[in-house]
Amino acid sequence: MATDAQQACFEAGIKFGSLYHQFAGTPVSTSSTRSLEAAMAEAIENQPFCEAVDVTVHDDRVADAVDHENGYTELTGSLMDVEMRIEYAGVTVRTRMEMEDGYPLMKLVDVVDGGESSESADPNA
Amino acid sequence: MATDAQQACFEAGIKFGSLYHQFAGTPVSTSSTRSLEAAMAEAIENQPFCEAVDVTVHDDRVADAVDHENGYTELTGSLMDVEMRIEYAGVTVRTRMEMEDGYPLMKLVDVVDGGESSESADPNA
Amino acid sequence: MATDAQQACFEAGIKFGSLYHQFAGTPVSTSSTRSLEAAMAEAIENQPFCEAVDVTVHDDRVADAVDHENGYTELTGSLMDVEMRIEYAGVTVRTRMEMEDGYPLMKLVDVVDGGESSESADPNA
Amino acid sequence: MATDAQQACFEAGIKFGSLYHQFAGTPVSTSSTRSLEAAMAEAIENQPFCEAVDVTVHDDRVADAVDHENGYTELTGSLMDVEMRIEYAGVTVRTRMEMEDGYPLMKLVDVVDGGESSESADPNA
């Protein structure tokens, strides 16, 4: 059996893949960023163990990406930051997607099992 | 060459297919219907020649579709009605998606060229 | 009522929007272009009135777009050409998506009603 | 910091969410199941750390789901089984999606770190 912390990380990954591939390609302009952020967050928060989703679609990046006369672009990872908190069997997982070396990267930020973070755990403390 | 009215109908179809296949499968519950409606409408209104999109995700149908313990379902055509208005070169096209015989159908409601509707046109009137 | 030719153009547009927004964002590399082309074509050919779909995902464009170490990119309109033939009530519509001025454009190529093309129609013939 | 096993499980989840939300909603009939299976598997195998994806879209379930005259349905989790193998920093994660109580469930099957499975770990050995 996987541990609760492993299961929590698996659940966290599902949410990230879901969010990205459900909404990538959505037509977006600076006038529709707010509604898209809200819909993405609320949609994924419906999924099990997903306590909080925060999506920022950057208006300035959207404006830069609108490079043709039609006035819109398609949502990609380079236009947004995403943060999520997953709770599974007492384990809290925090994740983040952000640009790194020009490529959007989904990252595990922190795994906290029953109040003890695997990030800060120090057996010698 | 296609006529302006044919081109307008082609554009109307693109918007419908886009809306449906971009958002079908989105996790939805009765607590996220409003944000999803807004995001769908604003996203597709970004597309060229698309003047107005109105989406209704029916709370009662969503509630009926939530048949497992997780409390959400996935968006399908049977949960929503959509109306759109496309304007292309003086032609106005109105379209609607609604349930017909238990199957969501995308329909051309009206094609009006320069103020003359192909629906109501009557040379003998 | 819309004419059969207008209805055929509406159906053609639906197929294009569907294809694009269903598959945009799919991870693609030069080793998966053929299976993606086949799946896109066969999926959309399932839709009503859709007689033929031909998708070309260009290996050279995919290779150029793979600009990070992971070895893949996401499908966008700039990586592919698409041709479709729709048949509705005796009307044949041909459509094409191809790059124009650096932007993928979905176009009505030809609308033929009962053997008479609206492209070649000549009132002086 | 997350452990390698936790990171491997996160990566496994990303692949599952990606596969599901990229392809859910795709028009499918019994004549297009094979090409869809191949495209889904090859697309997701492009993603980092994803060593093997096996997708089975069940022809009999597709046939049962085709309940209207158009002869196709839309892909959902209830029509398919998926198995994946992820390799990350010496950790092998096996995952599976299958129907359970009428609902498609994504599951961690096995997490093996450096040849030692967390499934078979026996403190008494």
- Structural domain contains residue B92: yes
pLDDT for res A25: 96
- Structural domain contains residue D31: yes
How far, in Å, CA of A73 to CA of D69, rounded? Answer: 36
In angstroms, what separates the C-alpha of C59 from chain B's closest C-alpha?
25
How far, in Å, CA of B27 to CA of A21, rounded? Answer: 12
Name the residue range of residue A106's domain. Answer: 4-111
Helix (H) or strand (E) segment spanning residue C85: strand C80-88
Which residues of B make CB contacts under 8 Å with D?
20-21, 24-25, 67-68, 70, 74, 76, 101-103
pLDDT digit of tens for each residue in chain B (125 aa)? Answer: 799 999 999 999 999 999 999 999 999 999 999 999 999 999 999 999 999 999 999 999 999 999 666 789 999 999 999 999 999 999 999 999 988 877 889 999 999 998 555 554 444 43
The two structure tokens encoding residue D46: 């492009």
Question: Residues of B comprising the binding site for substrate?
Answer: 11, 106
- Contact (Cβ atoms closer than 8 angstroms) between residue A13 and residue A88: no
pLDDT for res D20: 97
To the nearest whole percent, how much of chain A has pLDDT over 90?
79
A101·C68 Cβ contact <8 A: yes
> Please, what is the end-to-end C-alpha distance for chain B in angstroms?
31
> Residue A122 corresponds to which amino acid?
D
- Structural domain contains residue B118: no
**Cβ-based neighbours of C113, under 8 Å, separated by 6 or more:** C4, C5, C90, C91
Q: Any idea which residue has 């209207």 for tokens? A: D68
Question: What ipTM is given for this predicted complex?
Answer: 0.90
How far, in Å, CA of B73 to CA of B26, rounded? Answer: 8
- CATH for A41: 3.30.1300.20
How far, in Å, CA of B7 to CA of A63, rounded? Answer: 29
- Structural domain contains residue D119: no
- Structural domain contains residue C83: yes
Number of structural domains chain D divides into: 1
How far, in Å, CA of A79 to CA of A58, rounded? Answer: 6
- Structural domain contains residue D121: no
pLDDT for res B72: 94
- Structural domain contains residue C124: no
> Residue B1 corresponds to which amino acid?
M
Beta strands in A5-90 (DSSP E): 27-28, 50-57, 73-74, 80-88
- Structural domain contains residue A71: yes
pLDDT for res B125: 37
C103·A70 Cβ contact <8 A: yes
Q: Any idea which residue has 């998926």 for tokens? A: D82
- Contact (Cβ atoms closer than 8 angstroms) between residue D21 and residue A106: no
